[in-house]
Chains A and B, each alone.
Chain A
Amino acid sequence: MAAQSKSAKLDRKKLFSDPVMVGMISVLLIFLVLFIVYPLFVLLIDSVYTEGKLTLSVFQRVLSMQRFRTAFSNTLVLGLLTGILSTAIGLLFAYVDVYVKIKNKAVGKLFNVVSLLPVVSPPFVLSLSTIMLFGRSGIITRSLLHIYDSNVYGLKGIVVVQTLTFFPVCYLMLKGLLKNIDPSLEEAARDIGASRMKVFTTVTLPLLLPGLGNAFLVTFIESVADFANPMLIGGDYDTLATTIYLQVTGSYDSTGAAAMSVVLLSLTLILFFIQKYYLERKTAATLTGKASRARMLIEDKSVTIPLTVICCLVALFVIIMYIMIPFGALFKLWGRDYSLTFKWFDYLFKYSGLKAFKDSFLLSVIAAPITALLSMVISYLVVKKKFKSKGFIEFVSMLAMAVPGTVLGIGYIRGYANGIFHTGVLSGIYGTGIILVIVFIVRSLPVGTRSGISALRQIDKSIEESAYDLGAGSGRVFTTVTLPLIKDSFFSGLVTSFVRSITAISAIILLVTPQFLLITCQINEFAEKGYYGVACAYATILIAIVYLSVLLMNLFIRFFGTSKKIKEEK
């Protein structure tokens, strides 16, 4: 292996002769270690190391808490239910989209809207509207059905809300997989004499099985990590995420919370690794390449009509839930007095609403470009470069995807409140806007990185090599060739991280200090107090902001996007 090391040594030497590359890699490594690896590491240390000794006493204490044990089983039940339901509904939508002939254009639009919703949806929104539709003062329960003691809180509420929030993700994942199934496989089965149902159960479904498992686990992780919905509609059904939050804010027991966080983190990490390294690979192995030709769509009315109707009903229901929000803000008193009023908006702006919007907006606007740039740099390094710490960088930025926000929040509290390892170093950032911006960045980084990687994989390697060969250093190659070619992806990453930041809550709610008012925290506060009108007013404006940014993104891509320019001149 001595020879092997010579080319490796040369490669390293070449790498280090490029100061921009070295700079980029060092900055990234420092960032990832400080703000992802270190806070999680601190949680682990905290939960096994007390008063100078290695001990499992904190775990023992936590495990003996009835509250913790209930929360743990609650979390698993919730994840299981939400995972199964979301995957099933996602599969239905994907199947109808890919296999069924839909003549009506409006139905296609409806599907589009549904697939876009998870991107633009702030947390709480579905919980809020569920409460307003089915709660004690719900428009359906109280006003239509005259049920006065309806209780939407608890498991069923969370499951419904989470399913409606997460199934579009499954829909998009499974749609991509179904499209890759070669239609001739199914035609062959059909040709031998299998019925349509038989084809589905013996060909389509087995091929899709790893993909279904994948979708299920992704939803499971999301569900388990979700903080906002259980907080609002969970009632006394506590999950790990909410219990951790209450442990810190209610019992001021941050070591206990650290131990609980380690449990939650281990849960999501295990699932994440199964999903990432087993199922994703298996999916790729069974469904390789593209379909050989277009699929004959199902036109049989006995199949198309019921399936389409079910999907449309679900889609319409989701859309109605979103429409509830502005109405909630415009009615005088939900459940009692449905006369129109602006009093909630007035109230919002009178009581520091403007500051909340300003703070949220400002912090997100600072975080978004940093996130977009960082994730592009990471994807660039991961896809195009060879170096020693590349595996680490890729691993950690993927890891961030599996870390629940609440866990990250606790990690920051434990890790930075007294500085790094309680030395006071960097303690200055705790309680300031900086740490909030960092949380925004870390929370959006995996999403941006993932889309950056897929965008970069589509660029022929030799295009960058030719620039390199002509004399451009790595920095120049990145700015003059790579970045312009992934401009669309970069800009959508920018908007996505802005949207994710301005709608973030789980980690932020633990770290925010009174000097900052954030929209999401305000919504949480007012909804907790039962001031649904104000909460809806906040949410309405938030949805408007998010929707406008997405609109802006599409406009930008239409007029300035690279791909558009290239396409148009073809």
Chain B
Amino acid sequence: MLKESKGIRLEHISKIYQDPKTGKDFKAVDDANLVIEPGSFVTLLGPSGCGKTTTLRMIAGFESPDEGEIYLGDQPINELTPNKRDTAMVFQSYALFPHYNVFDNVAYGLKLRKMDKKVIHDKVMEILDLVELSGMEGRMTNQLSGGQQQRVALARALVVEPSVLLFDEPLSNLDAKLRVSMRTEIRNIQQRVGITAVYVTHDQSEAMALSDQIIIMNKGVVSQIGTPQEIYYHPADEFVADFIGEANFLRGKLVRKDGEKGVLSIDNHDVEVDDIGNFEVGSDCTVVLRPEAALLAPEGQLPCKVVMSCFMGEYQNYHVMVGDTLVKITDFNPKHKRIYRVGEEAFVKFDTCDVHII
């Protein structure tokens, strides 16, 4: 696409709603500050009710913020109606016009821009080719499968060459397999076109697969912004660690510090850690240990007792008790490994670089 894509900036954005039952105000979005770089693919991720969709709808213009300012490029857009904003949205329900065929659906935005018929035709055909729907232009939308409908919705948004493309959980109505292939396709198309994309989802694997940056939201507040790796390996807090993937939380105390390295005391056992961040000696901290980063072994850092052992095919699933704390461990490709049974004693073993302290 020829047009330059633009970034988005949210400065101190808050949105207040009234609870219809109690009449009390609550902040759906609370002082959100975001910078979305031009051409990047950014995901707003969080549980339902975290304010991600509200944020997206404020960018589109369907909702108005109560505080702060939204910029598209360098232009403040708070006062612009959705039709005056250079954004295009792909909706969860596809929102295709049921009374138009595929061609007219995609051409809708172009016709509004009063383009020449020939130009419209060429652009629509080009974009349908891009989403691999060539030859379907004469069909009514209800003759298409879910995946095809979603492609039409994508084409309809792309064809008007917006500065920013917005996605509101666009894949949640598709079956699991299709979801995986569609998300690859969305990512490919976005890369090829080079457009800025803001994507709302509650599905963490979708966010991982698609994004340059993930914005984690919880209860209206932005919890963390980072690349998928940053978010996964260095979660900012327990919520993020728990929301993205599975996590074990072990409570401990920092007893020694040597530059970046340090030693923690967990359940009265010393555990070496590569990166202790900004913690001072004597302070309480929580160790985040991913289930796949730990193993059960005859020797290791923490003694434990197995309370559940379950074969899942690709991995052996263990629940073990470290003192009073339940720790989950997934041991991949267990075929030739020793399998621990319920009641056995063992050690939890992990690399000193695989734990993260919060």
Contact = CB atoms under 8 A, between A and B. Distances in A.
Interface of A: 3-4, 6-8, 10-11, 13-14, 17-18, 460, 462-463, 465-473, 476, 480-481, 484-485, 562, 565-566, 569-570
5 contacts: A4-B66, A6-B66, A7-B66, A471-B113, A569-B143
Given A462-B92, A469-B88, A469-B89, A11 B64 contact: yes
Contacts of A466: 89, 91, 95, 153, 156
A481 B100 CA distance: 9
Given A7-B66, A462-B93, A465-B62, A570 B143 contact: yes
Contact of B82 (A4, A6, A469, A481): A469
A471 B61 CA distance: 12
Contacts of B64: 6-8, 10-11, 14
A463 B84 CA distance: 17
Closest A-B pairs by Cβ, 3 of them: A10-B64, A470-B109, A462-B95
Interface string B82-104: 11110111011101111100000
Nearest to B57: A465
A476 B112 contact: yes
Contacts of A476: 112
Nearest to A13: B79
Contacts of A566: 98-99, 140, 142
A45 B14 CA distance: 48
A326 B88 CA distance: 61
B21 to A, nearest CB: 14
Contact of B79 (A8, A10, A472): A10
Interface in B1-49: 14-16, 18, 25
Interface size, B (range): 35 or more
Contacts of A14: 61, 64, 79-81
B196 to A, nearest CB: 16
A465 B16 CA distance: 21
B78 interface: yes
B274 interface: no
Given A7-B64, A462-B91, A471-B109, A18 B14 contact: no
B83 A473 contact: yes
A202 B228 CA distance: 59
B195 to A, nearest CB: 15
Contacts of A485: 98-99
Contacts of B25: 4
Contacts, number: 108
Q: Which of A13, A469, A472 has the most CB of B within 10 A?
A: A469
- Main DSSP-derived SS at the A contact region: helix
Given A14-B64, A469-B83, A471-B113, 15 more contacts: A3-B67, A4-B16, A4-B66, A8-B64, A11-B64, A18-B81, A462-B92, A462-B95, A463-B96, A465-B95, A466-B95, A468-B81, A469-B62, A470-B83, A562-B99
Interface string B265-301: 0000000000000000000000000000000000000
B142 A467 contact: no
Contacts of B112: 470-472, 476
B160 interface: yes
B142 A469 contact: no
Contact of A463 (B81, B83, B97): B97
Contacts of B66: 3-4, 6-7
A472 B16 CA distance: 27
Contacts of A460: 93, 95
A3 B16 contact: yes
A4 B84 CA distance: 24
A96 B81 CA distance: 53
Contacts of B84: 17, 471
B340 interface: no
Nearest to A566: B98
B108 interface: yes
Interface string B151-170: 00100110010000000000
A463 B289 CA distance: 45
B197 interface: no
B97 to A, nearest CB: 6
Interface in B204-253: none
B118 to A, nearest CB: 20
A81 B63 CA distance: 51
A11 B80 CA distance: 10
A470 B108 contact: yes
B79 to A, nearest CB: 5
